[in-house]
């Protein structure tokens, strides 16, 4: 979990520490890339784009990510997930984190409703689906991650829903080809959700998180995350071979593959050692970043 506020920092320091409580990595590689992919598909494949709609949609995505991370920090702290083995640690998450999340989600929903004037009902649908996944990922009463559905919600939100929602802003219609493209970030982000849970296996199990790693075990979790990520890269290759995606999609998978191999080598040898396992997480993150970014660029410059 990201660095938390010190009680002694005082109320005046709170506004300046908001972003220290928001995990930048999710904003950078989970929130933005699928949205950019959908916009790139509209620009390169559908020959339509609007900088006005793009900017507003990007603002809405930013607020959604702030809301997700605020809720995650707040409810994880309340459940004591990160204090399982250090119960004396004074992990202080201020109450305004909850209100920050609520405010961010409210404004993001307002942006989505406004954008539906241009993108129609599909934008409303994807906003609603993403909102339900985000609000209740760790938030009551559903708590997707505690019911073994957290990885699926992440994969859908940061794959098909965000990519197709972005595309709908410009085209107003559904695309099977774009759905296939959305599986690249969707499967890779599911892989990240699984791999991040492996070092937290015991903590998650003790607080009742029934994620896939807790259900299947750490070693099986390694094979699962490697399978999800390999499948994501394979979608890019198959799409390029069949002509559904630009040829650059093949390059995206090719550049991402070395990071996948490095991650696999570490994970297969250090799955039971959280500290030694860290490079496996870093490399699969790089695999996601590189593969999705190059895939997105290939749509723009095709």
- The pLDDT tens digits of the residues spanning 256-268 come to 999 999 999 999 9
- Cβ–Cβ contacts within 10 Å for residue 7, how many? 9
> Which pLDDT value is given to residue 144?
83
> Which pLDDT value is given to residue 8?
36
> Which pLDDT value is given to residue 99?
85
95-124 pLDDT tens trace: 777 888 889 889 988 998 999 888 888 888
The residue ranges of every structural domain in the chain are 7-300
> Which pLDDT value is given to residue 219?
94
What is 7-300's CATH number, 1.10.3470, 1.10.600, 1.10.4160, 1.10.10? 1.10.600
> Which pLDDT value is given to residue 68?
80
Lowest-pLDDT range of 1-10, 31-40, 43-52, 232-241? 1-10
> Which pLDDT value is given to residue 191?
95
> Which pLDDT value is given to residue 75?
75
pTM of the model: 0.83
Residue 91 pLDDT greater than 90, yes or no: no
Averaged pLDDT of the chain: 84
> Which pLDDT value is given to residue 122?
87
In 3D space, the residue among 206, 221, 210 whose CA is nearest the CA of residue 85 turns out to be 206
Residue 109 contacts residue 67 (beta carbons within 8 Å): no
Which own/partner pairs from 159-163 qualify as long-range (CB within 8 Å, at least 24 positions apart)? 159/34, 159/183, 159/185, 159/186, 159/187, 159/189, 159/190, 160/186, 161/126, 161/129, 161/130, 161/133, 162/34, 162/35, 162/38, 162/61, 162/126, 162/130, 163/34, 163/35, 163/37, 163/38, 163/41
184-204 pLDDT tens trace: 999 999 999 999 999 989 888
- Cβ–Cβ contacts within 10 Å for residue 45, how many? 20
Rounded to an integer, the average pLDDT of 59-83 is 75
């Amino acid at each position: 979990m990201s660095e938390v506020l010190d009680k002694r920092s005082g109320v005046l320091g709170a506004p300046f520490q908001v972003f220290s409580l928001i995990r930048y990595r999710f904003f950078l590689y989970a929130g933005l890339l699928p949205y950019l992919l959908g916009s790139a598909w509209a620009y390169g494949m559908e020959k339509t784009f609007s900088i006005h709609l793009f900017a507003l949609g990007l603002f809405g995505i930013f607020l959604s990510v702030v809301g997700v991370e605020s809720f995650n920090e707040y409810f994880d702290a309340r459940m004591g997930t990160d204090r399982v083995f250090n119960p004396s640690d004074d992990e202080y998450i201020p109450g305004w984190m909850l209100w920050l999340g609520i405010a961010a989600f409210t404004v993001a929903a307002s942006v989505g409703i406004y954008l539906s004037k241009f993108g129609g009902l599909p934008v409303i649908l994807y906003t609603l689906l993403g909102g339900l996944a985000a609000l209740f990922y760790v938030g009551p009463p559903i708590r997707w991650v505690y019911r073994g559905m957290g990885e699926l919600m992440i994969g859908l939100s940061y794959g098909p829903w965000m990519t197709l929602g972005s595309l709908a802003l410009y085209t107003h219609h559904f695309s099977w080809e774009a759905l296939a493209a959305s599986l690249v970030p969707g499967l890779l982000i599911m892989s990240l959700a699984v791999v991040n849970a492996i070092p937290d296996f015991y903590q998650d199990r003790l607080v009742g998180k029934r994620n896939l790693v807790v259900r299947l075990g750490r070693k099986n979790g390694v094979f699962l995350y490697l399978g999800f990520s390999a499948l994501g890269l394979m979608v890019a290759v198959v799409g390029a071979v069949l002509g559904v995606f630009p040829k650059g999609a093949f390059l995206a998978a090719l550049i991402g593959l070395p990071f996948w191999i490095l991650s696999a080598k570490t994970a297969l040898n250090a799955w039971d050692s959280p500290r030694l396992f860290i490079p496996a997480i870093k490399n699969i993150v790089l695999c996601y970043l590189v593969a999705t970014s190059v895939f997105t660029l290939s749509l723009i410059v095709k």
